[in-house]
Amino acid sequence: MMTDATTLAYINLYGILGAIPAMLELSPEARKILGKGACSIGFAVKDGPAATLSFAGGKCILKEGAEDCTVKLPFSSAEKFNGLIDGTTTPVPTRGFTKLPFLLGKFVKLTDLLTKYLRPTEEDMKDPAFAKISTTLLFGVITRAVVQICNHDRVGKASASYIVDGIIKLCVADGPAFAIQAKKNRLAYLNKVPEKVTSMMTFRDMDTARALFDGKINAVASIGTGDVRMAGMISQIDNVNRILDRVALYLA
């Protein structure tokens, strides 16, 4: 099955743009771009996702819904919104024209920086500090994409139906950690990792995680070598691993 435009819209909003809050926490360059700028940008996709990025105090949060925002960007279809992410669509705001300098200035610069982190060059990755931020952000995008694919993609929903309720932790040893909650055949991304989890998948180090994300090593082989460890309810991790193949299609 090919990718689905609506599922991709959910991934682009919650997965890709949803990485901006973390980027502002991790990247001094991102914080410098934002400065003291304050604005809330709402994205509303017809028959698709709606969420708002709120910038204030050098930070950003993403919340569902696009009514409480200073700038509102409506999209008539998932395809139109996806065009914003790949640079083929220029949206026209229906609210917040006085904030256009922020939208066309700071916000565009932040998204350009995010693209650099998520699609780095080999030269970029030679800088250890850059590589760490890049891999952490990509890990978060992949985790949130798993959630959206399980909830909206037809193949993903089938895999989600086999995931028992509980908390799945994905992490790098001594590095970033992310958590997914499975409940009644739906998944949710958790902003904070609970102390108690049902299952856990741990990468030996950041280099291992990056190599797996970039398709340079095989997940099953990595389990055999000990570079990737699983614990707890293994069936949860097995089903998440199946969905990772779909993630690769959507993020290609």
Low-confidence ranges of the chain (pLDDT < 50): none
In this chain, the answer to whether the domains covering 5-118 and 146-251 adopt an identical fold is yes
Cα dist from 250 to 3, 154, 244, 247, whole Å: 6, 13, 10, 5
DSSP 8-state secondary structure symbol assigned to residue 18? G
CA neighbor of 9 nearest in space, from 153, 136, 192: 153
Count CA within 13 A, CB hemisphere, residue 120.
22
Query: What pLDDT is attached to residue 124?
Result: 95
The DSSP line for 94-154 is SB-GGGHHHIIIIIHHHHHHHHHHHS--TTGGGSHHHHHHHHHHHHHHHHHHHHHHHHH-H
- Count the alpha carbons within 13 Å of 112 in the hemisphere toward its beta carbon: 10
> pTM of the prediction?
0.94
Ordered by start, the domain boundaries in the chain are 5-118, 146-251
Tell me which CATH code domain 5-118 carries.
3.30.1050.10
For residue 200, give both structure tokens: 């856990």
**pLDDT digits 0-9 by tens, 37-56:** 899 999 999 999 999 999 99
Place of tokens 């499975």: 182
pLDDT score for 1: 55
Q: For domain 146-251, which CATH number applies: 3.40.1190.10, 3.30.1050.10, 3.40.50.2000, 1.10.3720.10?
A: 3.30.1050.10
